Amino acid sequence: MDKVKHKSSLVLMVIIPDILSDIINKGEVINRYYNPGNFFGEVHIVLTNNDKPDINVVQKMVGTAKLYIHNLTDDKIVFFLSLGWESQLLKFWVRGALRLVRNIQPQIIRCHGASVNIFIAAYIKQKFNIPYVASMHTNPDEYVHGVCHDRVGNFIRRFVANARKKIARIGLMNADLVMPVYSPIVPYLKNLGVVNYEICYNVINPEYIRVKDNYSLGNTVKIISVGRQFLEKNPDNLIRAVAQIKNIELTVVGDGPYHQHLINVVDECNIQDRVVFHKSIPNDQLCGILPSFDIFATHTECWEISKSVLEPLLTGLPVLLNKRKGLPVEELTNDICILVPNTVEGYRDALVKLINDQDYREDLGKLAYAHSQANWSPKITEEKFVKIYKKIVEGL
């Protein structure tokens, strides 16, 4: 391979375990997400599953780059064939990826998440000396042992999580850089002994995020809540609080195993005319309409700062969140959002304060906007990824 190629001829291989079709169906298609700054002229997305996403939709996620999508054998099948992702037995599966690398000749490999995909990247680096970086989007220990235990609470899921952690250690320790997307992931990396990491926040929609420029309330206060609906992100106390305050309309965006439960809560509270459900809204449209709302509010016990929270903060919406049961999220402070107990009273009292005190509501939104733009703006986060890629390419 050439030492350094011109930007337009650079090739990136992205190895992901995600079902891209699910991401598309949820409306989470973000421009240049897999190719920040259009740095690469060619992007090969390698899926460790049998998903066949619409390449025309995925194209937006690589910007102007030429896009190719490849499938390796479903990692669920490989899990059983390799007796729980035993590293020595996994090597037979990697052969398909090695053939792809020989044909594609990427300058860099990017992994999203740390599963079998990062083991593949580590093995490719060993064989071809191709550098790779990996972004971490969750703290896996939190989901196995923390408040989010229900997702992996049974024996099989714990077994899978522990198997994944073994191969993740191999991949993370050998990566040229590990990029956790928020600070609560760092303890997981430290526990593994990973020292080569840098927090790189998610790139939020670079074209459609708009600033809120009017904090006056109309006759109806418009609240929006966005997030996947399961036990640890169950906003039923928010709904019950809304039921106790007149002239509020709540828009709930998301889907999940608790979706019907939330509909039932609305029926129980008899506020069907004041709560609107959307299972999904395309991200471009969602980011465009956020400034038209007066307040963003949700519930989460997960140790994270999700994209669904970053988006309203970047818009300048006043944000209302619960104080989680575990350690607080370093990035989410009372300077940029309201943190309340996860009770009906906690949400109700905070909503009343926000509604009745315009100066407080406006100041909170503007402080959130200023802080977010300085730390998480799409321009800053996208440029950070480009600098990382450029540094690695220049070192080839």
The CATH topology of domain 221-375 is Rossmann fold (3.40.50)
Element at 93 (helix H, strand E): helix 87-104
Residue 221 near residue 249 (C-beta atoms within 8 A): yes
Residue 139 near residue 303 (C-beta atoms within 8 A): yes
Confidence of residue 82 (pLDDT cuts 50, 70, 90): confident
Residue 90 has pLDDT above 90, yes or no: no
Element at 228 (helix H, strand E): none
Residue 274 near residue 250 (C-beta atoms within 8 A): yes
CA distance 307 to 324: 17
Residue 148 near residue 95 (C-beta atoms within 8 A): no
Residue 27 DSSP SS3: coil
Confidence of residue 150 (pLDDT cuts 50, 70, 90): very low
Spatial CB neighbours of 317, under 8 Å, sequence gap ≥ 6: 212, 224, 290, 291, 293, 294, 295, 296, 365, 368
Q: What is the pLDDT of residue 151?
A: 47
Report the range of poorest mean pLDDT among 81-95, 101-115, 129-143, 314-328. Answer: 81-95
CA distance 36 to 38: 5
CA distance 297 to 262: 15
- pLDDT tens readout for residues 27-71: 999 999 999 999 999 999 999 999 999 999 999 999 999 999 999
Q: What type of residue sits at position 5?
A: K
Phi-psi region of 241 (alpha: psi -120 to 50; beta: other; left: phi over 0): alpha
Residue 304 near residue 294 (C-beta atoms within 8 A): no
Please tell me the total number of residues recorded for the chain in this structure. Answer: 396
Q: What is the pLDDT of residue 8?
A: 61
Q: What is the pLDDT of residue 76?
A: 77
- pLDDT tens readout for residues 108-122: 999 999 988 999 999
Q: What is the 3-state secondary structure (H, E, C) of 297-358?
A: ECCCCCCCCCHHHHHHHHHCCCEEEECCCCCCCCCCCCCCCEEECCCHHHHHHHHHHHHHCH
Pairwise pLDDT comparison (126 vs 3), residue with the higher score: 126
Q: What is the pLDDT of residue 85?
A: 76
CA distance 176 to 164: 20
Pairwise pLDDT comparison (142 vs 2), residue with the higher score: 142
Q: What is the pLDDT of residue 167?
A: 87
Residue 2 has pLDDT above 50, yes or no: no
Q: What is the pLDDT of residue 372?
A: 96
CA distance 163 to 81: 13
Q: What type of residue sits at position 111?
A: C
Question: What is the Cα gyration radius of the chain?
Answer: 22
Opening angle at CA 196, ends 158 and 91, nearest 5? 55
Report the range of poorest mean pLDDT among 71-75, 128-132, 272-276, 330-334. Answer: 71-75
Domain 7-200: CATH superfamily, name plus number: Glycogen Phosphorylase B; (3.40.50.2000)
Q: What is the pLDDT of residue 165?
A: 85
- pLDDT tens readout for residues 190-210: 999 999 999 999 999 989 999
Residue 179 DSSP SS3: strand
- Cβ–Cβ contacts within 10 Å for residue 222, how many? 16
Spatial CB neighbours of 366, under 8 Å, sequence gap ≥ 6: 316
The torsion angles phi and psi of 111, rounded to 5 degrees, stand at -110, 135
Confidence of residue 6 (pLDDT cuts 50, 70, 90): very low
**Closest to 329 in 3D by CA, of 305, 311, 306:** 305
Residue 4 has pLDDT above 90, yes or no: no
Residue 7 has pLDDT above 70, yes or no: no
Mean pLDDT of all residues belonging to the chain: 92
CA distance 184 to 142: 9
Q: CA distances (Å), 139 to each of 47, 129, 144, 268, in order?
A: 22, 28, 9, 35
Q: What is the pLDDT of residue 143?
A: 62
Q: Where are the domains of the chain?
A: 7-200, 221-375
Residue 5 has pLDDT above 50, yes or no: no
Tokens at 22, concatenated: 């699910």
- pLDDT tens readout for residues 214-270: 999 999 999 999 999 999 999 999 999 999 999 999 999 999 999 999 999 999 999
**Closest to 224 in 3D by CA, of 284, 279, 271, 276:** 276
Q: What type of residue sits at position 307?
A: K
- pLDDT tens readout for residues 265-301: 999 999 999 999 999 999 999 999 999 999 999 999 9
Confidence of residue 358 (pLDDT cuts 50, 70, 90): very high
Q: CA distances (Å), 200 to each of 22, 134, 333, 370, 386, in order?
A: 24, 11, 19, 19, 11
CA distance 131 to 106: 9
- Cβ–Cβ contacts within 10 Å for residue 34, how many? 22
Residue 383 has pLDDT above 90, yes or no: yes
Residue 105 has pLDDT above 50, yes or no: yes
